[in-house]
Amino acid sequence: MSAANNAGGKAVLAQNFPASWVVPAALEVLPQKVQSLLQRLGPLEGPPVISQGQNGLQALARFQNASDARAAVQTLHGFDMRSASEKQTANHEAPKESECFSLRIADDSGAPPKMARKRRVKANGIFLWPLPDSWAEKDVELLASPYGTVQRTRVEGMSSGQKGVLIDFDTSSAASSALTALNGLSLMGARLRCVMQEEPEPKKPVTSFHCYIDELAMPSLPREVEPKLDDREIFVTHLPPKASTEDGVRFLLGNFGDIDEVLLLRDMQQRPTGKAYVRFKSHSEALKALEAIAGVSGADGVSKASWSESERALRGTRGAYGLNMLQHLQGAGGGRLQEICQAAGASSLYVELLDPVLGTLGSQHVLFVVRCGESLQAEECWKLLAEALARVHEAHVSEVRGSLVLRGFPSSWSEKGLKFVFAPFGGLSSVFIEDEEKDIIATTVSGEVRSSGRIAYVKLRNNQAMDKAVTNLHKTKVGDGDLVEECVVACHRWHSSSWSDGSFQVSIFVDQLALSRRPSEVAPGPEDRELYVRNLPLHDMTRQQLQEYFEGFGEVDVLHLISDPFAVEPLNEGYVRFKHHRDALRCIEALTPADPEEADPTDLAGTWSESERVLQRKNNCYRFNLVSELVGADGSGLEKMKAEARLKGLWILGDSLQLKDRTAPQASGRQLHFVGRCSEEADVRFFRDVLEREIEVIHKKISSRLEKRRHKELGRGAGKASAESGRGLLPPTFEWGA
């Protein structure tokens, strides 16, 4: 296309972006970066559309004024995009073409060229050439009429300067006969050539194809991601024939818990596909179903089930990924869907949030709908959508998991502002800013800090400074008012075990408490086989090596390592349960220093498990039921601790304890532990303090009863001795100096 023809063009095509713009973590904000750059030269009609060109990623944008487009090209094209360090590494040599920003005027329509329609042989038409110069259409009709009725003729000039003619017959057999007779015929000194005409293939009727988000290929699904503790929906595949109706699915899975809703997936002919969304009344029931399905085998069983990706997508930043999934998949203003649609050659692609049954109230589900002429085009859309979903999974693993979460900062803050705020804590290794959904309710973990519409996931260079950062920043005014706008922010860790309202789960095992009043004079019972061990050398030994170490004292039944409630990594403490009491005794003797005052506080140490004693109820060495004392006859003990610790929920979990509460979270181990639903990280300290006070009161009560029991037994012994002395069974006692 000539420069003159492009003089009025408003569309520009940008390529060769800075390396930092196209790293995987930054691709989501590439359109915004391009838009911000171009708008310095003039207003745009809309956000740029990112696509994959022959030479890498490219952005197509359209200015409101053609003069601004030309000014942008003159200003930005050829700009050296290398950083200062890259220029220094290259000894300040001239940049290569690929290192310079490319910006040129694109097709003025602002849209990629349409694909040419496929062509086919026209069954009733032939093309004949070269015609004698003196011939007209009536001469052609006389030549062609012996082979059949001629519908129309059209003489056309050819690029070679010769003339040819298009001849349409009323039947394909007539055209075939004419082709055979006329091709190679000598006419007025020229040899005629004849071929069948071609015509564009007729447009195929547009059909709607649909695909639920959970039907997309998901090899990238992170294994580490934890469901929200109020997620209740699972996606089931390979349902047996008996579960081809909603009632059949309820009958098949109803044994695992009460089912709220079933959405049975059907194909275009309304036949069941063997897939269904199943929503249970509680998270624990859904988890029970998942675990049971995972263990089923055989033709009559369900072979696969997973947490619903649709439920996660609809929760957005409050879901398991912490990301606005629908925005990532659709793009700004639906730009990514439009890009996928064009790449596949489809007519349209959009998202529907579908109710279980049309016209009824219920949980919505994410459904992609594509309108196109061929199923292959739909398959291409599903493939590209799966790739977009994989990028969401990658962002969760690399940017969200293990991060600090910051809320409440204003739109004026950039990555530079965040680095400024976290500089006192050793600086940041990564920053990821995410847009929240509109009209979202503030999370409980944010306290009274309102959402500004954005979240920042940041990772510190020094993970040891996370506690300090949270303590100093949460609900604190930050910024200098000059370079960084002042505001009050909420700062907390990313909680893997949490609810969608922001509250999170904290598990504290009873032996992790101070237990300062634990009766020390009580000897272990003959059935005691479990030890609580501290200062485990996890940096030097693997779990298997630890197992082998303890097996040196005897056969080990269970080795349980306690995890950090925030980092989801093993702490240096846990439980080891032996098969026999004598082996546990041998181990505790080896771990007990001869002189406690000279013991190194970092040495491997152990005590008899208080958890084991609590779970033994009245059969423990105290002869005291600590569980009933903690819970109270009517549950009032738990309610009292819950209120004092400012918790939204409190549960006592352990191997032999059965709970009727279907909302109770999954146990963190077989040993006795307290699980609290906290709204603020500061509440964890209150939680621990309340537990230690309650256990201290109970231990005091146990010591008091033991003392009374001892006095009573001593009294009985003294009375018996006196009686036997009176009968002459014992020698009399004497008091010297009387």
Q: From the CB of residue 150, how many other CB atoms can be counted at a distance below 10 Å? A: 19
Q: How far apart are CA 44 and CA 42, in angstroms?
A: 7
In this structure, the answer to whether residues 463 and 346 fall within a common structural domain is: no
Any domain includes 552: no
| AA letter at 299 | A
In this structure, the answer to whether residues 278 and 414 fall within a common structural domain is: no
Residue 492 forms beta bridges with which residues? 405
**Helix crossing, 335-344 with 375-395: angle to 10°?**
140
In this structure, the answer to whether residues 101 and 7 fall within a common structural domain is: yes
Any domain includes 601: no
Decide the pairing of beta strands 476-478 and 487-493: antiparallel
Q: What is the pLDDT of residue 721?
A: 54
Residue 728 has pLDDT above 50, yes or no: no
Residue 399 has pLDDT above 90, yes or no: yes
Q: How far apart are CA 421 and CA 404, in angstroms?
A: 13
How far is CA 54 from its chain centroid?
A: 31
Residue 689 has pLDDT above 90, yes or no: yes
Any domain includes 185: yes
Tell me the CATH number at 452. Answer: 3.30.70.330
Q: What is the pLDDT of residue 383?
A: 96
In this structure, the answer to whether residues 213 and 334 fall within a common structural domain is: yes
> Which of 66, 64, 75, 61 shows the shortest CA–CA distance to 30?
61
pLDDT band for 357, please (50, 70, 90 cuts). Answer: very low
Domain end point (choices 105, 130, 150): 105
Digit-coded pLDDT (tens) for 43-100:
888 888 887 666 778 889 888 888 888 888 888 888 887 777 777 777 777 778 778 8
Give residue 188's domain range: 119-200
Q: What is the pLDDT of residue 670?
A: 95
In this structure, the answer to whether residues 361 and 214 fall within a common structural domain is: yes
In this structure, the answer to whether residues 25 and 49 fall within a common structural domain is: yes
| Number of folded domains that form the chain | 6
- Per-residue tokens: 732: 């009399």
Q: What is the pLDDT of residue 729?
A: 41
Q: What is the pLDDT of residue 720?
A: 59
Q: How many Cα atoms sit within 13 Å of 369 on the Cβ side?
A: 10
In this structure, the answer to whether residues 7 and 100 fall within a common structural domain is: yes
In this structure, the answer to whether residues 683 and 663 fall within a common structural domain is: yes
Residue 518 has pLDDT above 90, yes or no: yes
The pLDDT mean for the chain works out to 86
pLDDT band for 206, please (50, 70, 90 cuts). Answer: confident
Residue 524 has pLDDT above 90, yes or no: yes
Higher-confidence residue of 554 and 720: namely 554
Digit-coded pLDDT (tens) for 552-566:
999 999 999 999 887
Residues in the chain: 738
Q: What is the rounded average pLDDT of the residues 404-429?
A: 92
Any domain includes 589: no
Higher-confidence residue of 712 and 492: namely 492
Residue 722 has pLDDT above 60, yes or no: no
Q: Is 9 helix (H, G, I), strand (E, B) or coil?
A: coil
Cα angle 265, 269, 274; round to 5: 30
Range with the poorest average pLDDT among 335-339, 378-382, 435-439, 681-685: 435-439
Residue 705 has pLDDT above 60, yes or no: yes
Strand intervals (E) in 548-611: 556-563, 570-578, 605-608
Any domain includes 468: yes
> Which of 638, 632, 639 shows the shortest CA–CA distance to 652?
638
Q: What is the rounded average pLDDT of the residues 470-496?
A: 90
Residue 343 has pLDDT above 50, yes or no: yes
Q: What is the pLDDT of residue 437?
A: 84
pLDDT band for 547, please (50, 70, 90 cuts). Answer: very high
- Per-residue tokens: 682: 């500061």
In this structure, the answer to whether residues 288 and 342 fall within a common structural domain is: no
pLDDT band for 507, please (50, 70, 90 cuts). Answer: very high
Q: How many Cα atoms sit within 13 Å of 286 on the Cβ side?
A: 27
Question: Number of helices (H) and strands (E), helices first, in the chain?
Answer: 20, 29
Q: What is the pLDDT of residue 87?
A: 75
Q: What is the rounded average pLDDT of the residues 520-527?
A: 91
Digit-coded pLDDT (tens) for 551-606:
999 999 999 999 988 776 788 999 999 999 999 999 999 998 877 777 788 899 99
Q: How far apart are CA 491 and CA 474, in angstroms?
A: 5
In this structure, the answer to whether residues 332 and 413 fall within a common structural domain is: no
Rg (CA), the chain: 39
Give yes or no for a contact between 316 and 326, defined as CB atoms under 8 angstroms apart. yes
Residue 635 has pLDDT above 90, yes or no: no
Digit-coded pLDDT (tens) for 130-149:
999 899 999 999 999 999 99
Give yes or no for a contact between 286 and 231, defined as CB atoms under 8 angstroms apart. yes
Residue 731 has pLDDT above 50, yes or no: no
Any domain includes 562: no
Domain end point (choices 254, 283, 307): 307
Percent of the chain with pLDDT over 90: 57
Q: What is the pLDDT of residue 663?
A: 80
Strand intervals (E) in 427-467: 428-435, 454-460
pLDDT band for 733, please (50, 70, 90 cuts). Answer: very low
Q: What is the pLDDT of residue 679?
A: 92
Residue 560 backbone zone (phi > 0: left; psi -120 to 50: alpha; other: beta): beta
Higher-confidence residue of 35 and 687: namely 687
Q: What is the pLDDT of residue 159?
A: 74
Tell me the CATH number at 337. Answer: 3.30.1370.10
Any domain includes 225: no
Q: What is the pLDDT of residue 360?
A: 43
Percent of the chain with pLDDT over 70: 90
Q: How far apart are CA 246 and CA 272, in angstroms?
A: 10
Give yes or no for a contact between 373 and 202, defined as CB atoms under 8 angstroms apart. no
Give yes or no for a contact between 554 and 578, defined as CB atoms under 8 angstroms apart. yes
Which DSSP string do the residues of 180-226 spell out, in sequence order?
HHHTT-EETTEE-EEEEEEEEPPPPPPEEEEEEGGGS--TT--SSPP
In this structure, the answer to whether residues 291 and 329 fall within a common structural domain is: no
Q: What is the pLDDT of residue 78?
A: 83
Residue 475 has pLDDT above 70, yes or no: yes
Residue 103, φ and ψ in degrees, nearest 5 = -145, 120
> Which of 639, 637, 671 shows the shortest CA–CA distance to 653?
671
Any domain includes 39: yes
Domain end point (choices 502, 537, 563): 502
Decide the pairing of beta strands 193-200 and 190-191: unpaired
- Per-residue tokens: 399: 């940017």
Cα angle 690, 695, 697; round to 5: 95
In this structure, the answer to whether residues 213 and 330 fall within a common structural domain is: yes
